[in-house]
Structures are given as structure tokens and as C-alpha cells.
């Protein structure tokens, strides 16, 4: 840095550091930008783009499938306008533009952008502090989960009221597709968003994520994507399931463009989040935190981020191709002009299956993190846990075509994919072994997080075993496209993923919010939801075994009973989730103030004060031992035993 650009120095963690020139007040234009300006920018530019597109597109034009072009073009313009306008309004482009013109941030700028002294306002801005981003992710996750959950209730209402149609077939189909993709997005961010962002940097002894502005960008892009998704309900709906197979999607209403835009934007968000999480784990661990001293949570997040990094672009490009097929008459997926629908399915499932592990691995490693704390013993076979994660990541990209057994694509490939799919149960088995080994003869401190572990293990066992059934080609020929499949993947994604995330939230709630969770109420909610979950999806297994196809509005009366039971179960889940959410919200607002380390954990994130200060650590820590050394004898214990020898047995017993 040349001397002419340096105008002053700033004290940064005790050192005098030369600063670039400060332009105006710290934060610059970011002082004026917030969620309000983002909404104004997004809605404003969407309106302008929509009007311009409407004026320019000839009203009579039609696509190759004879659908009118104008609604598509106008809707796409609105979506693009919304995405760009919102991003500009929140301040996503300020960083790159400042970089372009050489107006580097000063320490004061960075502190402003991290939300220093901004109070509650920092949660409504492009704030770079990882703790704020974690909390923002939590709220966004809750909204998307609530939206998807509401749709699930409506779907179950339709299927439970077997004597009449509650919704039109088109709207029912839209609810199915929208519920699916909303829940997939919610589950992907369930742990990777709130917990990984808030906890992981502190866990590894860092002051922030590697790229704080990318961190904020990933969060706000999820908001952009989520609202694109909601807009589909008003433009015809996603009527062909969350996978939006071609050529159905190309013949669907304009809402397909909303789906495509949602995925394109969400893939960018996931990409930048993955880059950030991986680089943070690789380069920002505290001194002394060797790989054997690195918490298993970090391995899991790294693995999930790696899967997201390599797999999401396939999904993203499948949607770009689908979009150009629709708007510009390209023919990637149109067989009449040389395209192939199998190409879509391959690209889609190249993400579609790794995404399952992107959801499950973080939900599992968060359990690994809390189990030693509540069992008061080390994590069983740390190396097996690492091997399990590595095995899942390595095999995750080799199993996609087991979703395509029945499509007719490459029948000769079915058996290799059956083998690779069954092989992945080996590293997954390692992970289950770690859970059981850690619980074995542990002194259980029965709190909500550890109770959730039992629930997740139960669900994962059922989801895993039924998954092995479905990976077998002969069984899949019967089960494919039935409610059995729906029950299976809900056991994995919701039973293992969501309940794992709830365990993680219950565990880290005091650190994230500074308040003690009302575990009594939260436990009632949790177990109510768990009970409802078993009722819903066990009944769905039965319906599937009886042969009930998925994604249908009307069905034979043979399936009435399991559907009634399933719907009752779904309402119980809803009730349980509301109770759990109520406990979280009320505790957050008016719960007791939490101590710094309420569970006596040994890992770094619990050694910081609560609420965690902006810089996390006044002085960076040095790690000297493994994170789960709960089995190491307490040096004071020996003294206590020696003292006991001098006492009368009754006195010892009363101690």
C-alpha cells in the first residue's frame, strides 16, 4: 500500500494499523441502506421491468409449445428486476464497486458494517458479523419452514377430507411442488445457516468468517429466492412436483420461471456460503487446533459445503437450460428438436441426491457435538466419524441415478447405481456407530438436546433401512412413485434433518440468544411433533405398501384409513411445532439470562462470554487438547478420594 493513500492509523486489537482514506462517515452509503430500501428497490425495479417488458413484447407471440410468450417475458423481467433491485437496495453491490474504484474499507467502516452500536437495526441490514447473519438465517429459516409447513397442512387436509375436493387440482399440484422446494431450501439452511454461521467461527477460535460480505450476501440471496418462490403461487403454481421434470415444466404456467429463478439465485447463495464455510474451516482455525483437535462439527460442515459446492451448479444449469428452452426456444430438453428429458433428470439428480447429505450431515454432526457434553464422555471413535463423513462425501456424487431406475435411462446402469447406493450405507453406518458408541454407558444428563438424539436415531434408522429397500431395483419397481417413497424421504429429511436441527437449536439457544430456553415447554412441543411425525409417516408407509401413488388428489377408498390417520398425525406435528416455536419465541423475548457455559461444555464456543462480543475473543486462543476430553480424570478428583478415606462412610455417602 503506497504511503499517499494512507491518511491515518487505527488501533486494531492493540496494534496501530495504517488505514486507507476514509470517505465520509464510517460505513459510507451503507448507512442509508437496509431492508426497507431493499424492498423499495426490488419492488420498484420489478415494476419498471415488468412495464417495459409488457410494452415491448408483441401480445400475439407464442412459444414452440404454442403458449403465449408475453406473460413469460413479463414475469421473467419482474423476477430479474426484483432480484437486482433488492440486491442493490440492500447494498450487495457496494463492496464490489468500492473495490473496483479502490475505496477500500477502513476498520471503522468494517465495524459499522459488522453492526457495531447499531442495536436491533443491524438485523435488518447487510450486516457482516457472522453472529448477526446466524440469527438472520434462523429467522429466515423459520419463515420458510412455516410457509412449507402450512402448505403441508393444506395438502394433508385435502388428502384427509376424502369425501370432497377442498382445493382445485391445479392448486393442489402447486402446493405439492411449492411445499417440496420450500422445505428443501429450509432444510439445507437449517443447520448450515443459523448454527454454522453463528457457532463455527467461535468454535474454531476465529473472529469472523473468512469473507464476511459474502456471508451477508448468501443470507440476503436466500430472502430474494424465497420471495421468488412465493410469487409462483400467484402465477399458476409449480404443478409438477419439486423436481419439475421436463417436458411437463416447459408446458406449465409462467410459475415455472419463478421456480427456475428461485433455484438459480439459491444456487448462488449456496455457492458463496459454501466457499465461505470451507475457507473459514481451512484457514481460520486457532493456533494449536490441529485436524485431530478440530471439532467434528467443522468436518461435517466442511463436507456438506463441499457437496453443495460441486453439486449445486448442475442443478443451477439445468434450470438455466430449462429457462432458455422456455424463453428462447432452445432445445436442451425438447425431444422434437434434438433435446433429451433424460439430460434434465441427470443434471437434476446430480444435485438431488448429494443435497440429501447436505441436509443430513450437518444435522448429524450437531448431535455429535452435543452428545459428549450431555454424556460426559468423549465422542466415540472420532476417526470413524471423520471416515463416515469423508465416505458420504466421496460416494454422494455416485448415486444419483437410483432416482431414475424407472425412467428407462440406461437400464444397464441400474445395478452399478444400486451397488453404490447400498455402499453409502457403510459410511452412514459409521456415523450411527459413533452415536451408539458415545451413548454406551454414558452418564446421561437428560435435557432436551440429548432427548432429541434418541428421536433422530430412531427416525434415521427407519429412514435408512427403507432407503436400502428403495435402492434395490426390484423393490423400487414396485415402490417407485408411491407414498412409501414419500414416507421414506420424510424420515430422512425431516426425521433426521429437522429434528437434528431442533436439537442443535435447543443446545445453542443460550449462546445464540443470551437467554435460557424454556425446555419444559419446548420438550412438550418436540415430543408432540415427534409423535405426530410417527403417526403421519407410518400411516404413509402403509398407504405406500398398499400401492397408493404419490402426488394424487383423488384415490381409491382402499387408502382412506391411512390417509385419515396421516392427516391427524400431520395436525399433531403442526401443533407440536407451534408449541416448540412458542417456547423459542417466549424464551428469546423474556427468558432468563443465560450464563456463558450453562452445560459445562469444553469446546471453544462456550468459553466466550454471553452475549458474545463483536470480536468474539479479546485475544485469540491457543488450543492445547482435543475438544471432547470429558473422560480425562479431573485432577481434583484424586484429592477428593484421598480426603474421603479419612471420613466415615456415612459422611462420604451424604456428600
Q: Please report, as residue ranges, which positions from 541 to 600 form the binding site for another protein (by CB under 8 A).
A: none
650 touches another protein (CB under 8 A): no
Q: What do you get for the CA distance between the two ends of the chain, in Å?
A: 65
| Minimum CB–partner distance for residue 517 and another protein (Å) | 23
Q: Which stretch binds another protein (CB under 8 A): 133-141, 152-160, 363-371, 614-622?
A: 614-622
242 touches another protein (CB under 8 A): no
| Minimum CB–partner distance for residue 284 and another protein (Å) | 7
| Minimum CB–partner distance for residue 401 and another protein (Å) | 13
Residue 587 to residue 28: CA distance in whole angstroms = 36
Residue from the set 607, 611, 614, 652 that interacts with another protein by CB under 8 A:
607
Residue 295 to residue 607: CA distance in whole angstroms = 14
- H-helix or E-strand containing 43? helix 35-56
Q: Which stretch binds another protein (CB under 8 A): 275-283, 360-368, 462-470, 634-642?
A: 275-283
C-beta of residue 22 within 8 angstroms of C-beta of residue 108: yes
637 touches another protein (CB under 8 A): no
412 touches another protein (CB under 8 A): no
| Minimum CB–partner distance for residue 313 and another protein (Å) | 4
Interior/surface letters 229-243, b for 16+ CB within 10 angstroms, e for the rest: bebbbebbbbbbbbb
What CA–CA distances, in Å, run from 438 to 26, 137, 188, 464?
Answer: 50, 30, 26, 20
What residues does 11 pair with on adjacent strands?
16
Residue from the set 56, 629, 638, 651 that interacts with another protein by CB under 8 A:
629
| Minimum CB–partner distance for residue 305 and another protein (Å) | 9
Residue 408 to residue 318: CA distance in whole angstroms = 20
Q: Which is nearer to another protein, 10 or 545 (CB)?
A: 10
Residue 296 to residue 207: CA distance in whole angstroms = 20
19 touches another protein (CB under 8 A): yes
Query: In this structure, what C-alpha cell is assigned to residue 635?
Result: 485432577
Q: Which is nearer to another protein, 151 or 298 (CB)?
A: 298
Residue from the set 619, 642, 654, 655 that interacts with another protein by CB under 8 A:
619
In the region spanning residues 202 to 241, those forming contacts with another protein, defined by CB under 8 A, are: 205, 207-208, 210-211
Count, residues in the chain: 655
Residue 509 to residue 503: CA distance in whole angstroms = 10
C-beta of residue 339 within 8 angstroms of C-beta of residue 331: yes
- H-helix or E-strand containing 17? strand 15-20
404 touches another protein (CB under 8 A): no
| Minimum CB–partner distance for residue 479 and another protein (Å) | 27
Q: Which stretch binds another protein (CB under 8 A): 98-106, 251-259, 424-432, 643-651?
A: 98-106
623 touches another protein (CB under 8 A): yes
271 touches another protein (CB under 8 A): yes
Residue from the set 338, 631, 633, 649 that interacts with another protein by CB under 8 A:
338
Q: Which is nearer to another protein, 257 or 577 (CB)?
A: 257
Q: Which is nearer to another protein, 56 or 282 (CB)?
A: 282
Residues 6 or more apart whose CB falls under 8 angstroms from that of 417 comprise 398, 399, 400, 401, 402, 405
Q: Which stretch binds another protein (CB under 8 A): 167-175, 189-197, 273-281, 523-531?
A: 273-281
3-state class (DSSP) for residue 11? strand
In the region spanning residues 277 to 336, those forming contacts with another protein, defined by CB under 8 A, are: 278-279, 282-284, 286-287, 293, 309-314, 316-318, 320-321, 324-325, 328-332, 335-336
In the region spanning residues 100 to 129, those forming contacts with another protein, defined by CB under 8 A, are: 100-102, 104-107, 109-110
340 touches another protein (CB under 8 A): yes
C-beta of residue 282 within 8 angstroms of C-beta of residue 369: no
Residues 6 or more apart whose CB falls under 8 angstroms from that of 196 comprise 134, 277, 301, 362
| Minimum CB–partner distance for residue 93 and another protein (Å) | 11
Binding residues for another protein, total number by CB under 8 A? 83
642 touches another protein (CB under 8 A): no
Q: Which is nearer to another protein, 182 or 225 (CB)?
A: 225
Q: Which residue has the cell 462439527?
A: 297
| Minimum CB–partner distance for residue 628 and another protein (Å) | 8
| Minimum CB–partner distance for residue 27 and another protein (Å) | 12
**Nearest partner of 64 among 327, 321, 329, judged by Cα:** 329
4 touches another protein (CB under 8 A): yes
* Half-sphere exposure of residue 534: CA atoms within 13 angstroms, side-chain side: 12
| Minimum CB–partner distance for residue 18 and another protein (Å) | 7
Class of residue 356 by CB neighbours under 10 A (exposed 0-12, middle 13-18, buried 19+):
buried
DSSP string, 150-217: HHHHHHHHHHH-TTS-SS-HHHHHHHHHHHHHHHHHHHHHHHHTHHHHHHHHHHTT-SS-SSHHHHHH
| Minimum CB–partner distance for residue 22 and another protein (Å) | 10
What residues does 10 pair with on adjacent strands?
17
Q: Which is nearer to another protein, 624 or 654 (CB)?
A: 624
φ and ψ at residue 111, rounded to 5 degrees: -65, -40
3-state class (DSSP) for residue 613? coil
φ and ψ at residue 12, rounded to 5 degrees: -115, 110
621 touches another protein (CB under 8 A): yes
| Minimum CB–partner distance for residue 542 and another protein (Å) | 37
631 touches another protein (CB under 8 A): no
| Minimum CB–partner distance for residue 287 and another protein (Å) | 5
In the region spanning residues 54 to 93, those forming contacts with another protein, defined by CB under 8 A, are: 64
Amino acid at each position: 500500500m503506497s504511503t499517499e493513500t494512507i491518511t491515518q492509523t487505527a488501533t486494531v486489537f492493540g496494534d496501530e494499523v495504517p488505514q486507507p482514506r476514509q470517505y465520509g462517515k464510517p460505513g459510507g452509503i451503507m448507512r442509508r441502506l437496509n431492508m426497507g430500501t431493499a424492498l423499495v428497490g426490488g419492488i420498484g425495479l420489478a415494476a419498471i421491468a415488468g412495464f417495459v417488458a409488457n410494452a415491448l413484447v408483441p401480445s400475439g407471440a407464442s412459444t414452440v409449445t404454442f403458449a403465449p410468450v408475453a406473460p413469460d417475458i413479463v414475469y421473467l423481467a419482474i423476477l430479474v428486476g426484483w432480484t437486482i433491485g433488492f440486491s442493490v437496495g440492500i447494498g450487495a453491490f457496494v463492496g464490489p464497486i468500492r473495490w473496483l474504484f479502490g475505496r477500500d474499507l477502513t476498520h471503522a467502516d468494517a465495524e459499522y458494517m459488522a453492526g457495531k452500536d447499531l442495536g436491533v437495526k443491524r438485523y435488518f441490514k447487510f450486516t457482516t458479523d457472522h453472529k448477526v447473519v446466524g440469527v438472520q438465517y434462523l429467522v429466515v429459516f423459520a419463515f420458510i419452514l412455516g410457509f412449507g409447513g402450512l402448505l403441508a397442512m393444506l395438502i394433508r387436509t385435502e388428502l384427509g377430507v376424502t369425501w370432497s375436493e377442498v382445493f382445485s387440482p391445479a392448486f393442489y399440484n402447486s402446493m405439492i411442488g411449492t411445499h417440496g422446494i420450500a422445505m428443501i431450501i429450509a432444510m439445507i439452511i437449517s443447520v448450515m445457516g443459523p448454527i454454522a454461521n453463528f457457532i463455527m467461527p467461535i468454535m474454531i477460535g476465529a473472529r469472523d468468517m473468512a469473507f464476511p460480505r459474502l456471508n451477508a450476501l448468501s443470507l440476503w440471496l436466500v430472502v430474494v429466492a424465497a420471495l421468488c418462490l412465493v410469487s409462483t403461487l400467484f402465477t399458476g403454481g409449480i404443478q409438477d412436483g419439486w423436481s419439475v421434470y421436463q417436458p411437463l415444466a416447459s408446458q406449465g404456467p409462467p410459475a415455472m420461471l419463478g421456480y427456475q429463478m428461485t433455484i438459480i439465485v439459491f444456487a448462488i447463495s449456496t455457492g458463496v456460503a459454501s466457499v465461505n464455510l470451507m475457507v473459514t474451516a481451512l484457514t481460520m482455525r486457532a493456533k494449536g487446533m490441529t485436524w485431530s483437535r478440530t471439532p467434528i462439527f467443522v468436518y461435517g460442515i466442511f463436507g456438506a459445503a463441499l457437496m453443495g459446492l460441486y453439486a449445486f451448479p448442475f442443478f443451477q444449469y439445468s434450470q438455466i437450460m430449462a429457462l432458455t428452452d422456455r424463453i428462447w426456444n432452445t432445445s436442451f430438453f425438447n425431444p422434437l428438436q434434438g433435446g433429451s428429458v433424460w439430460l434434465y433428470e441427470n443434471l437434476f439428480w446430480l444435485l438431488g441426491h448429494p443435497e440429501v447429505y447436505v441436509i443430513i450431515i450437518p444435522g448429524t454432526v450437531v448431535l455429535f457435538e452435543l452428545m459428549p457434553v450431555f454424556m460426559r464422555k468423549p465422542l466415540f471413535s472420532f476417526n470413524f466419524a471423520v471416515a463416515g463423513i469423508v465416505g458420504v462425501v466421496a460416494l454422494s456424487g455416485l448415486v444419483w441415478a437410483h432416482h431414475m431406475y424407472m425412467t428407462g435411462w440406461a437400464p444397464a446402469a441400474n445395478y452399478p447405481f444400486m451397488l453404490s447406493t447400498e455402499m453409502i450405507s457403510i459410511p452412514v453406518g459409521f456415523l450411527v456407530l459413533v452415536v451408539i458408541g458415545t451413548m454406551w454407558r454414558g452418564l446421561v444428563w437428560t435435557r432436551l438436546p440429548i432427548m432429541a438424539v434418541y428421536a433422530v436415531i430412531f427416525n434415521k434408522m427407519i429412514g435408512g433401512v427403507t432407503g436400502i429397500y428403495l435402492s434395490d431395483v426390484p423393490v423400487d419397481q414396485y415402490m417407485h412413485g408411491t407414498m412409501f417413497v414419500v414416507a421414506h424421504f420424510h424420515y430422512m429429511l425431516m426425521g433426521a434433518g429437522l429434528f437434528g436441527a431442533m436439537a442443535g437449536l435447543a443446545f445453542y439457544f443460550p449462546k445464540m440468544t443470551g437467554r435460557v430456553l424454556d425446555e419444559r415447554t419446548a420438550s412438550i412441543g418436540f415430543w408432540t411433533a415427534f409423535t405426530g411425525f410417527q403417526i403421519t409417516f407410518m400411516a404413509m408407509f402403509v398407504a405406500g405398501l398398499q400401492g397408493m401413488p404419490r402426488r394424487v388428489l383423488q384415490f381409491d377408498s382402499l387408502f382412506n384409513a391411512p390417509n385419515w390417520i396421516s392427516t391427524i398425525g400431520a395436525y399433531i406435528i403442526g401443533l407440536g411445532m407451534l408449541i416448540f416455536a412458542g417456547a423459542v419465541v417466549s424464551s428469546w423475548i423474556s427468558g432468563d439470562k443465560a450464563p456463558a457455559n450453562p452445560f459445562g461444555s469444553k469446546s471453544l464456543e462456550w468459553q466466550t462470554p454471553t452475549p458474545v462480543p463483536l470480536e468474539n475473543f479479546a485475544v485469540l486462543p491457543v488450543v492445547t487438547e482435543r475438544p471432547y476430553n470429558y473422560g480425562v480424570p479431573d485432577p481434583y478428583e484424586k484429592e477428593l478420594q484421598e480426603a474421603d478415606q479419612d471420613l466415615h462412610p456415612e459422611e462420604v455417602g451424604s456428600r
